[in-house]
Structure formats: C-alpha cells, structure tokens
Chain A
Amino acid sequence: MQLYLPIAEVSVDILLILGLGGLVGVLSGMFGVGGGFLITPLLFLAGIPPAVAVATSTNQIVASSFSALLGHLRRRTVDIAMGSVLLAGGLIGSGLGIMVFNWLKARGQVDLLVELSYVLFLGTVGAMMFIESVNALLRARRPGARPKRRKHYWAHALPLKMKFRVSGLYISAIPPLMVGLSVGVLAAIMGVGGGFVMVPAMIYLLGMPTKVVIGTSLFQIIFVTAFTTMLHAVTNQTVDIALALLLIAGGVIGAQLGTRIGARMKAEQLRILLALLVLAVCGQLALGLVLRPSELYVVETVRPA
C-alpha cells in the first residue's frame, strides 16, 4: 500500500514505514535510546530525502520516548531529579554543540567529522559495555559468587551534593551536569538524541542502577528531540507529519512492547544486547568509510528555500 508524503515528496510503502517505526520503538522501550542513530539511516534506505529523514525522525522519537516514559513512570523507574540535572546540562551542551558544528561547517569536512565521531563513540561505548556486561553475566553464573559491591565513585567527593532518591545516590550535581553537557554537545554535532552515549555514561560514570537509567534517559531525550523538531520545522520546513504519523503509529506500539520485554530481562542481558546493536551500527559505518563505494559521486537535490 502506497502513500505519497506531502513534504518528502516521495511515495512510500505504508507497511514498510510502520515496520521501521515499530522496530525502533521496541529498541527505544527496551534500552532507553531514542533510536535516532538507527532510524535515520533506515529512512535514507527507504528513499526519504536526508533532510526530511533527520527532521522527521526527531519527531517520531518524541512520540516513542513519551510512550515508553509513561510505562517507566508507572513502574517508578524514572529519576526526575537526575533527569532534570542532565537536561539542564544537555541544553547548554546543545547550544555549544551547534556553535561547534557551525564552526566546523565553515571549515568544510563536517560530514567526515560526524561519521568519524559516530564510529569512534559507538565503537568505544559498544565495546566497553559489551566487555563489562559479559563479565557481569559470567560473575553471576559462577556458583557462590557475590555481586561486586558498588564502588565508591569519584563523584562523592565534590560539593553541591544532591539526593537522587530513585537512583539511591547522594552525589554532587556537578558530574551529571557535565555528563549532560558533553552528551548535548555530541548530540548537536551528530544530530541524534544522544541516548546511546547517555545510557552508558549514567551506568558507568554516575553509578546509577540500569533499570532507572532507561526511564531517566527517555525523560531527557523527549525534551532534547522536541527542541530539535521545532528547530527543523521552523528553519527548514522538513518535518513530514504524514511520515511522522506512520513512524509514530509503529513506534508507540513498539515502545510498549519494548518496555515490557526490557522489564523481564536481566540488566546484564539488556546491556549486552544494546552493546551488540551499537557495535553493529558502528561496524556498518566503519565499513562505509573504508570500503570503496560502488558509486564515487553523490547527488543531492537542493530544495528551494
């Protein structure tokens, strides 16, 4: 079944787009990642112009993240205090990131930087998570082995201490603010919500429990992507509401499924799966950079302003 998209100006298969939305929704609910690093390349493959794909997927991420967040709120696995601190840092970071982005753009080669930072970050984050969670899983399997006690994080020594009750942490607000800020910078440069960097950062840098991390990440992703959607709608008019609705319809259902799947799984298993996914996307991008492309030229239609 075909639908002509009013803004993208292409005709797409309704079931294909619903499926893509659903797939990303499941991931969003399971791992607390927005899925921006996944849906945008998939939309390119489906023939959607890049500018529309980037702008519209942010709108879809708002919907699936919101749906998943409600599921987490009901389960009380959202640390709103922590989320707000991260968000504050994130908004400052996005502002800085956009400045960095424009500075690099003026010097050319911004595409390369974006791709390289994808490979670098996805690779490091994925490998780190994979090794750590495999170790954790093996430790849990060993008979008589006790789970390792939580380390005393460096964050405990800093001033401005805050109580994050849901996470069971009493730490300084500075580390989460810095995490939010660096993720915000990255997100603006790479054009994603930043969940895939935020989630491991919360686990490993802030020492938050995995179950709380996902809901909290969703909480801040909603605000960041809503902000980006508005930015795209106002400056480029590239948000395709028909495409977004199809993605959303698939996405919200997928997100509900994902939240339930995630709730039944062990935290280590969840982390291994996310690590594998991140590594797969990283490998795909790295191959694209290294292998000789079949077509050495790329044509981009410039849309009249």
Chain B
Amino acid sequence: MILRLAFLLIALALPARAEEIVLGLSQDQVAITATFDGSDILIFGAVRREAPPPEAPPLEVIVTVSGPLAPATVRRKERRAGIWVNTEVFEVDAAPSFYAVATTGPLEEILTATEDLRHAVSIPRAIRAVGNRVSGAGDYVAALLRIRSAEGLYRYEEGAVDLERETLFRTALTLPADLVEGNYTTRIFLTRGGAVVDRYETVIGVQKVGIERWLYNFAQQQAALYGLMALALAVLAGWAASLAFAGWRR
C-alpha cells in the first residue's frame, strides 16, 4: 500500500497532459487451473494533472474489458409447415467472447454518442467496430447482444467504478468461470461533459496452466495419439469397473 501510494505521488508530480491516467492492476495474468472458477481483478488508478481540476462538468471514469475476438454464427428460426426450422444465417466476423463496461454513472450521460462511436465503448459499438459488415443485419447483431447478455458474457456495470475526489478510482471486475484463453484488452476512459479527455489501454493475459495447458496442446498437436489415449482410457476404465464389480453378481 505504501509502495502504491509512493508510486501515485511520483506519478502525480510528473508533468503531462491536462488530465492523464495512471493505472494499476491487481494482476495482469490470469492462470486457468483445473479448479478455476472465475477470478476477481482489481483495476485501480489515479488521475494525474498539472492544474487544479475544472469546477464543472464532473470527471467520470469508464473501464472496459474485452475478451478475445472470435467469429460467431447467428441463426434465425422460422415456422415452416408447422415446425420451427433454422432459416436465415448471419456470420458475425468477430465478436468478443466477453465484454464488460464498468462506469461511475449511466453510460449515456457520461459519454456522448459521437465519442462512443469514435472509441467504441458501449457493447453494440464495440461489436460494430471490429470490422463487421452489419448492414441489414441489425436483428442478428441485436440477438447476439441479447443472448450473450443473458448469459452474463456481455454486461454493463454502471456505478461500479469508485472515484474519490476526482483523482483516485478503482473497480473490481469479476471474470466468469467459463473463460476463454487469450488477451483481454482493458481500456480506461476519462470523460468530462461526455467528451473523452484521456484513454489508457493495457492487456490482461488469460492462459491455461499445468495439466490444462498440457492436455490442450496434446489434443491440438498430436490429435491421433490423443484420440488413441482417450480410447485406451475408456477401455481401461470399462475393464476396471467390470473387474471391480465382478464379485458382486447377484
């Protein structure tokens, strides 16, 4: 804590832009072990400034965390001859596996639509920003957002960022248990009157470790051997169980 404070004080003393972010993370690596069931990451930081802060409008903080991008297929069901069948299909080229937005207040009040468009902060903007052709596919993208939000993969946490005296901010972010490996891009925006005054970007690496890593690599790199191992285990287990129960006949 003392070190952290010292760091902040040094940071505050340095000359820079009008208002600038200095960031800390409780961890910048998340290790997925066999017993992994989610992880809390503390994102904290300070606002460094040369001049005293302006009276109004107030300073606001937005934190976004985005999981790795992957293509997704969205299908729509329609009733044909009395049964529900998949009819139309839309391929989303790249959608984040996870996306969370934590803010100091309601997003539409602290960020203008133009700034949202420029920085791709809100969930719909973040999806549209990654080069997806979405014209005429509004319903499909909306469905993707709706379904992933219901699964807790896309979420808004308005008011989850604590900001003290317009200088120190912190938020605790819960990463779900169903975490996909990859780089989780973390962005912090400072806004005043809906306009972004500074942004900062860093990466949290999420990786399988130990036996999880080993099994995954094995399955990918030596698929045939892995398949044979799976079969051998299956036969062995079947045989062992049969043997164990052999005495118990009647």
Contacts and interface: CB of A to CB of B under 8 A. Distances in A.
B72 A299 contact: yes
A62 B246 CA distance: 19
A289 B84 contact: yes
Nearest to A25: B241
Nearest to B217: A6
A67 B242 contact: yes
Interface string B61-100: 0000000001111111111001111100001000001000
Contact of B242 (A70, A230, A299, A300): A70
A295 B70 CA distance: 22
B86 A253 contact: no
A296 B76 contact: yes
Interface in A1-55: 2-4, 6-7, 9-11, 47
For A68, A70, A290, A292, the residue with the greatest tally of chain B CB atoms inside 10 Å of its CB is A70
Interface in A168-190: none
A152 interface: no
A88 B223 CA distance: 26
Nearest to B242: A70
Interface stretch (A90-98, A123-131, A157-165, A240-248): A240-248
Given A64-B238, A299-B72, A290 B84 contact: yes
B234 A60 contact: yes
A252 B147 contact: no
A301 interface: yes
Contact of A59 (B180, B213, B230, B245): B230
Nearest to B90: A297
A245 B211 CA distance: 14
A65 B238 contact: yes
Interface residues of A, number: 60
Contacts of B211: 6
B101 interface: no
Contacts of B244: 256
Nearest to B178: A10
Given A244-B234, A298-B74, A234 B227 contact: yes
B219 A241 contact: yes
B77 A298 contact: yes
A101 interface: no
B219 A239 contact: yes
Interface string A263-294: 00000000000000000000000001111110
A62 B234 contact: yes
Contact of A248 (B83, B91, B234, B242): B234
B82 A230 contact: no
For A6, A249, A292, A298, the residue with the greatest tally of chain B CB atoms inside 10 Å of its CB is A6
Contact of A7 (B33, B77, B86, B219): B219
A298 B84 CA distance: 12
A241 B215 contact: yes
A62 B235 contact: yes
Contacts of B177: 2, 4, 10-11
A62 B223 CA distance: 18
B239 A70 contact: yes
A304 B208 CA distance: 17
Given A292-B84, A302-B71, A9 B219 contact: no
Interface in A244-262: 244-245, 248-249, 252-253, 255-256, 260
9 contacts: A3-B34, A11-B178, A59-B230, A62-B234, A63-B234, A232-B227, A241-B230, A289-B83, A301-B70
Interface of B: 32-38, 70-79, 82-86, 91, 97, 139-140, 143-144, 146-148, 177-181, 208, 211-213, 215-216, 219-220, 223-224, 226-231, 233-235, 237-242, 244-246, 248-249
Interface of A: 2-4, 6-7, 9-11, 47, 59-60, 62-71, 74, 109, 111-112, 226, 229-230, 232-234, 237, 239, 241-242, 244-245, 248-249, 252-253, 255-256, 260, 288-293, 295-304
Given A6-B211, A260-B249, 13 more contacts: A9-B181, A62-B235, A66-B242, A67-B238, A68-B238, A111-B85, A229-B227, A241-B219, A296-B143, A297-B144, A298-B77, A299-B74, A302-B91
